[in-house]
Structure 1
Amino acid sequence: MKRIKRTKNIRIGCGAGFADDRVDPAVELAERGRLDYLVFECLAERTVALAQLERLRDPDAGYNEWLVERMEAVLEPCARQGIRIITNMGAANPVAAAEVVAEVARRLGLGGLRIAAVTGDDVLHLVKGRPLPLQDGPGTVSTVNGLGEDVVSANAYLGAEPVAAALAQGADVVVTGRVADASLFLAPLAHEFGWAPSDWPLLARGIAVGHLLECAGQVTGGYYADPGTKDVPGLERLGFPLAEVAEDGSFVVTKVPGSGGRVTVATVTEQLLYEVHDPAAYLTPDVTADFSRARLDQVAEDQVAVSGITGRERPAELKVSVGYRDGFLAHGEISYAGHNAVARAREAARVVRERLTLAAIPVSEARYDLIGLDAVHRGAGAGASAGAGAGASASAEVGAVPAVDQGEVRLRVAARTDALVQARRVGREVAALWLNGPYGGAGVTRDARENIAIASALLPREAVAPAVSLKEA
């Protein structure tokens, strides 16, 4: 890859904020962002557990489904401009994902590109069957061994150090599994500026860069937008963010000029507080960051300067996401329109509820929602039902919400069962409404799938051993 002489500032862009994010804003960043690094953050808690299940079925699977498309879109412009790529799209299989990146590079004529795989986050062997306390286990289960054989994955949140090590070894593309989101952005800063692994204020500023960029379009106005209240222009071509970072950790959040969205003190403030329980003690694998005295200044259009971030020593333990089998989920929907639509939908919910009992379909939990009426702001009607069917807990009566004038409504039934066949039968009862009444139901959808739930545990960081493997395309 062509190398660009570094200036005193480093420019980092975010090409994705979740697994299914768009590709074209990343291409825009690669082509016009004048970047040094492009980061794709695509791994949520359940995403990696589901990826582990894929890998169990196929040892060569378990990475992000859009990996090839993204790499086909950005590898050439990044290689041409000397932009290095960091991504956690490796999910449950970073080594296989790195080979996929190498294959795409060869196909694009980019031979010699160096691709690193960061491993070591998979700690199932350290966790499964052990009395490790769970912070948020199901019901009365308080330790990992209490989950028994239902445990399917355990991934520790690695920090920036192994990613920085991969960059130090000359990697043009770094593919990881479970690395803490903000750490993906801290790593190139620590590498480029030579920040010490115990320089807590500098590391905290790098984490702040990552925290503000990690959700991509959220900070450029996507999740901020509220038409008529908080208007954001050009959402259909929302630009993804980048940060220009100085060696002292001060930085400016911005986006490619002319792209949709906006970067303001308000959009940055909302993202700064996103998923932060204590702004004075934001725990990460690298540092305990303190955002409580952050200063945000609008220095130009779509440019917000961030300062005042500090930090202190990192936690002694690493967070581990433990994925476990948690029954099966059934889901079915049907629409009703025209006169008396809401009453017919409520009657349909009642029918399904009674049918689950009559057909002896064991359901541990169930919800009956009238989408657009009570599915989110839950009242005492159909949507309030906490359980239904054989073995379910008691719930409010369907139809207790006063009637409203609604031209159309969609009934959604969701239930939890212990077996796939039971979940499929719940969906079949929804589908049966089509001909078995009440009249006028249409647009039936249904599905049934295994549910993978997530609980959290802690491991001493010295028990986790990250590793880097490097290959050429």
Structure 2
Amino acid sequence: MKKIRIGSGAGYSEDRLEPAIDVMKNGNIDYVIFECLAERTIALAQQAKLEDPLKGYNNWLEYRMDSILPLCAEKGFKVITNMGAANPLEAAELVKKMAIEKGLSHLRIIAVIGDDIFPSIDKYVNYEVLETGELLSSYTSTLISANAYIGAEGILKALQNEADIVITGRVADPSLALGALMYEFDWSFDDYEYLGRGTLIGHLLECGAQVTGGYFADPGYKDVPELWNVGFPIVEVDKEGEFFITKLKKSGGIVSEATVKEQILYEIHDPANYFTPDVIADFSKVEVKEFEGNSVSVTGATGKPPTGLFKTSIGYKDSFIIEGEMSYGGLGSYKRAKLAGEIVNKRITLLGMPHLEIRTDYIGVESLYKDVTGDTPTVNEVRLRIAARTEEYEDALRIGKEIESLYTNGPAGGGGYRMNIKDVIGINSIFVPSKDITIQIK
């Protein structure tokens, strides 16, 4: 029976490249998927595209493709990635140019488009925002992006058109692998049992080293060997959707029953009803079996017809966040840091500095658990951190200057001031009818 091997190349936008290179060189793979998008990532990419219409793709696209392109040509595997982010067309153009410069013009590079529905956002202003229950019209003045989570359709079309490299925008994470499986095994869009199994495969691969022990590791409780050298996962799957997950022998990390179970449950609101654009996957009867040599089989996934709705991430300009920090050391350092925090907060009130919220932390002094440990620790050093959220950049800057003025206005011994102001992009979601979305390849 025909089998294929799919390797993971990334689990987030700036993930390490070396484990991906190992998988591409030594994994005997047919496909590698680079999953590089999150809700906020796509909104930030849209913001970059607004500033420069030729940008908006993953910042590491060129860096990664410099290594991927020669290996793709040499080894003959196909690449599927959402590194196109907000601008898959320009991403594909860049990769095409790089391929030509490397003498690899025979590589066929195809972009998948259709997820960006911002040009028609007015059609949805009376839709309910999932997170707040408000109408989307409440945010219209600040909206910057709207990207639907499309499924495997565009990837399948690209592969049917002999793509070597498929570059997408906001495709649902598991669909990156599912598109390859549908192409290789001729699964149809109503083969829901197979689509459920393929979605599980994509879900296990989508976060890179999470399933090989990365996010699993907890020393003394869940020990993972050679985490410094953790490798990315590889799945071997047959036409029936039966598969096992493993990693390269020389890489660090582990693939075990426990790591796989943790990843199966990751971000799953209901194991019996995992909504994706392609299928409602059912993982409730999944069985996981561990074998020697970092190999785990997973069986029992199935699926049901999809909802007919695509979740759509809506990006909007929310606010500015100012973070200002100052260190205090030696005897009485915590008391001096506390006094400094009180001074800044009182100055902000005195001067009527506009802000939406403010927070004061004392890093290194049980700042995460102070409600449990009490408020009188004995320490020799502490880092004061004051963060505020403002509507205007100028207000954030004024608050930062007040923190900086602690240098000479007291208390004693402050140093190492650092200030950072960032533009905050908020994310909301709506459901959009899938029939509204037209998916194309170019």
Into which bin does the TM-score normalised by the smaller protein fall?
over 0.9
Equivalent residue number for residue 429 of structure 2: 456
Match of 2:326 in 1: 334
Task: Pick the aligned partner of 1:133 from 128, 143, 146.
Answer: 128
Aligned to 1:27: 21
Q: Is the 8 A contact 1:424 1:447 kept in 2?
A: no
Q: Secondary structure at the match of 1:275?
A: coil
Superposed displacement of residue 367, structure 1: 1.1
Post-superposition Cα deviations, 1:321-360, rounded to whole Å, max 9, x if no partner, equal 0011112111111222222222222112111111111222
> Taking structure 1 as the reference length, what is the TM-score of the superposition?
0.91
- Say whether residues 1:406 and 2:379 are aligned partners: yes
Alignment match, 1:390 = none
Q: Please state how far the C-alpha of 1:374 moved relative to its aligned partner.
A: 4.1
Q: How does 1:460-471 map to 2 (within 5 A)?
A: 460-469=433-442
Unaligned residue ranges in structure 1 (runs of 5+): 1-6, 382-400
User: Does 2:318 match 1:345?
Assistant: no
Q: Which runs of 5+ in 2 are unaligned?
A: none
1:312 is matched with 304
Write out aligned runs for 1:14-163 (5 A): 14-128=8-122, 130-137=125-132, 142-163=134-155
C-alpha distance in structure 2 between counterparts of 1:222 and 1:304, whole Å = 16
Q: Distance in 1 between matches of 2:236 and 2:380?
A: 51
Matched, 1:275 2:270: no
Q: Which residue of 2 aligns with 1:396?
A: none
Runs of 4 or more, structure 1, over 6 Å off, are none
- Aligned-partner residue type, residue 412 of structure 2: Y
CA distance in 2: counterparts of 1:372 and 1:274, whole angstroms: 30
Is the partner of 2:5 in helix, strand or coil?
Answer: strand
Q: Please give the secondary structure, in 1, of the residue aligned with 2:221.
A: coil
Q: Which amino acid aligns with 1:50?
A: L
Give the residue type in structure 2 aligned to 1:455.
N
What is the TM-score with the length of structure 2 in the denominator? 0.97
Match of 2:358 in 1: 366
Match of 1:429 in 2: 402
Other structure's SS at 1:379 match: helix
Give the alignment's Cα RMSD to 1 decimal.
1.4
Aligned residues: 441
Moved more, 321-330 or 423-432: 423-432
State which of 278, 289, 297 in structure 2 corresponds to 1:297. Answer: 289
Taking the aligned partners of 1:378 and 1:247, their CA distance within structure 2 comes to 54
Matches within 5 A, 1:159-238: 159-238=151-230
Q: Tell me, yes or no, if the aligned pair for 1:363 and 1:416 is still in contact at 8 Å.
A: yes
DSSP 3-state at the match of 2:97 = helix
Per-residue CA distance 1:379-402 (angstroms, 9 max, x = gap)? 299xxxxxxxxxxxxxxxxxxx42
Q: Residues 378 and 185 of structure 1: is their aligned pair in 2 closer, same or farther, counting only changes over 3 Å? A: farther
Deviations along 1:120-159, whole A, 9 cap, x unmatched? 100112324721111114xxx7111121220110000000
Query: Quick one: which amino acid aligns to residue 338 of structure 2?
Result: R
* Amino acid in the other structure paired with 2:358: A
SS at match of 1:339: coil
- For the 8 Å contact 1:289–1:310, the answer to whether it is kept is yes
In structure 1, give the amino acid aligned to 2:438.
A
Q: Secondary structure at the match of 1:426?
A: helix
Q: Does 1:241 align with 2:214?
A: no
Which letter does structure 2 place at the counterpart of 1:83? F
Tell me how far apart the structure 1 counterparts of residues 258 and 418 of structure 2 sit (CA, whole Å): 40
Q: Is this contact kept in 2: 1:253–1:305, CA < 8 A?
A: yes
On the 8 A contact 1:220/1:240 being kept in 2, the answer is: yes
Going from structure 1 to structure 2, the CA distance change for 1:124 and 1:378 (only over 3 Å counts) comes to farther
